[in-house]
Amino acid sequence: MIVVATADFEVYHGVVNELRDRGVTFTTIEPDDELPEQTAVVITGEDEEVEGPRVVHADPDDPRRAVDAALTHLRGEGGQTIVGVDPGRRPGIAVLAGDTVVAAFQVPADDAVAVIEREVADAVDPIVRVGDGARLEGASIVNALDDVRVELVDETGTTPYLGTGARGMGDVLAAANIARIEGEVIENRDIEPTAGELQVIKNRSREQSGENRAIDEDLARRVAAGELSIEEALALHRGEDPALTGDDSDDEE
């Protein structure tokens, strides 16, 4: 059983809500109380000292990490972190610890690499498996990832049938399936964009511009290569510094 033992209100609030959201059985005690007999893991604050069979210190700004660590211990050590990615304009991302999905995201393509890097940051020998569909978006993700094993996976048949009420879940479920398929180890993926793919990028830039203006082909090629986001390309097209552009999109949904 997981025991939450902390005097830090932020840690308590964040960890307890995370555990409840996941339907995990747990109990709470004061830090100096005696641990229940069936205690397997204790979650406490970063600067708190608590005795226990396994103690996890929680960052108040990131309680999910502590809960992930506690659940990994309960399931048994050795669950390798594998991140599956179904690329696209809003890629699905699934994080597995062994065979268990511990986190899932669907984010704008420009945010995907940051999410993946965050999820593998503290993992031992993680693997990122990227589906081979959506060539340009997938290549951009592959080429941006450093210091992590990346595999390119044949994603044929990974998107499941979606019944009533499951609309919008396809990309995330496909990502979970991709994570379970061994792929070809790859360090970079060079893609020569087709005329149709470049036109799609131009159309997307027109949609995002707010001024009904599209980027030119040279900028579209740089977007296709992953050198620029569409927002940065639009800034260059307007003669602005792309470093000054902002992004108000959410990281997670």
pLDDT at 180 over 50: yes
Quote the CA–CA distance of 53 and 31 in Å, as a whole number. 14
The sign of the torsion formed by the CA atoms of 147, 252, 94, 14 equals positive
Q: What is the mean pLDDT of residues 38-45?
A: 94
pLDDT at 249: 42
Closest CA to 214 of 195, 201, 196: 201
pLDDT at 72: 79
pLDDT at 250 over 70: no
- The CA-based dihedral angle spanning residues 111, 116, 121, 125, taken in that order and rounded to the nearest 10 degrees: -160
Does CATH place domain 81-185 in 3.30.420.140?
yes
8 A C-beta contact, residue 171 and residue 90:
yes
Single pTM value for the model: 0.69
pLDDT at 244 over 90: no
pLDDT at 94: 96
For the chain, give every domain's residue range. Answer: 2-75, 81-185, 195-244
pLDDT at 106: 96
